[in-house]
Amino acid sequence: MSTPLHDKSTLDQIRDRFDHDVERFSKLETGQTATQDAPLAMRLITQAAVRSTNPIRRVLDIGCGAGNNTLKLREVAGHDFQVDLLDLSLPMLQRAAERVAAVNAGQIRTIHDDFRQADLGQETYDVILAAAVLHHLRDDNDWSAAFKKLYAITAPGGSLWITDLVAHESEPIQEMMWAGYGEYLSSLGGEAYRDKVFAYVDKEDSPRPVTYQLNLLRQVGFSTVELLHKNGCFAAFGAVK
């Protein structure tokens, strides 16, 4: 990725793209196809949440999109819960609330805000889900502040589960993994599709290695850290408070 951090997309630009992309994020069975192993990662983080956290009373879905991860968590948990759906995109939030309300009788609150700025209280959530969202964080200070907030809003005994695009510490390994991701995208929609995805990733995203994020989870205070799955440039991982 060649775009420097100060030239990356603004929040308004990111919001605008997602406002016009709701349908692509509304397929529970496939997830977002541009993400390798999206259905597997979604299944793993929700199963891990249910296994690690009891009871699950209140959930936060950061960058909820059209609600897929909350829907999967409700399916795996087998019971209703309160859920706060948070996203920059109002059309995404509206779709997510509709879909979640159809299967979950617990209170549903929508938060149209940037996670970093939203007032989410202290030790509020038994489970926090963050799928394909943290790669929008920028410099080290931004990453550190965000992870400190994630720890602060997690209830004692609660857990945080992440699926995301990740970078690599070694440049040769980054090049190898990126080439493999390009082959995957080309297999879905040809080279034009690959180039389109690569262009918006370069402009919008600033992922960090999963090793960096696991270390950061420990540094901010999580007692247990788990890597559930990694395939190329995508990983599923989490932590328990």
Which domains, from first to last, does the chain contain?
A: 9-169+205-240 (3.40.50.150)
Alpha-carbon distance 43 to 37, whole Å?
Answer: 10
Contacts of 202 (CB under 8 A, 6+ apart): 1, 2, 3
Q: What is the pLDDT of residues 190-231, one digit of tens each?
A: 999 999 889 988 888 899 999 999 999 999 999 999 999 999
Which of 25-29's residues contact partners 24+ apart within 8 Å by CB, and which partners? 25/65, 25/66, 25/68, 25/92, 25/95, 26/66, 26/68, 26/95, 26/99, 27/68, 28/68, 28/71, 28/72
Percent of the chain with pLDDT over 70: 88
pLDDT score, position 200? 84
> pLDDT band at residue 26, thresholds of 50, 70 and 90?
very low
> pLDDT band at residue 30, thresholds of 50, 70 and 90?
very low
Per-residue pLDDT at 21 exceeds 90: no
The stretch 92-108 carries a mean pLDDT of 96
Helices (H), the chain: 11-19, 38-52, 68-77, 90-101, 140-153, 171-204, 210-220
Token couple for 69: 């991860």
Contacts of 89 (CB under 8 A, 6+ apart): 15, 18, 19, 22, 65
pLDDT score, position 219? 98
pLDDT score, position 24? 55
Alpha-carbon distance 50 to 68, whole Å?
Answer: 16
Helix (H) or strand (E) holding 226: strand 224-231
The stretch 39-51 carries a mean pLDDT of 97
- Which residue carries 């999967």 as its tokens? 72
The stretch 153-162 carries a mean pLDDT of 98
Distance of CA 105 to the CA centre of its chain: 24
Q: What is the pLDDT of residues 53-89, one digit of tens each?
A: 999 999 999 999 999 999 999 999 999 999 999 999 9
Per-residue pLDDT at 234 exceeds 90: yes
Percent of the chain with pLDDT over 90: 80
> pLDDT band at residue 6, thresholds of 50, 70 and 90?
low
79 backbone dihedrals φ, ψ, rounded to 5°? -150, 160
pLDDT score, position 1? 61
Per-residue pLDDT at 188 exceeds 80: yes
Per-residue pLDDT at 185 exceeds 80: yes
pLDDT score, position 124? 97
144 backbone dihedrals φ, ψ, rounded to 5°? -65, -45
In this structure, are residues 26 and 98 in contact, taking their beta carbons and an 8 Å threshold? no
pLDDT score, position 215? 98
Contacts of 109 (CB under 8 A, 6+ apart): 82, 83, 84, 85
pLDDT score, position 4? 75
β-strand partners of 229: 236
Contacts of 145 (CB under 8 A, 6+ apart): 116
Per-residue pLDDT at 3 exceeds 80: no
Does 32 or 143 have the greater pLDDT score? 143
The stretch 89-109 carries a mean pLDDT of 96
Per-residue pLDDT at 41 exceeds 50: yes
Determine the longest span between alpha carbons in the chain, in angstroms: 49
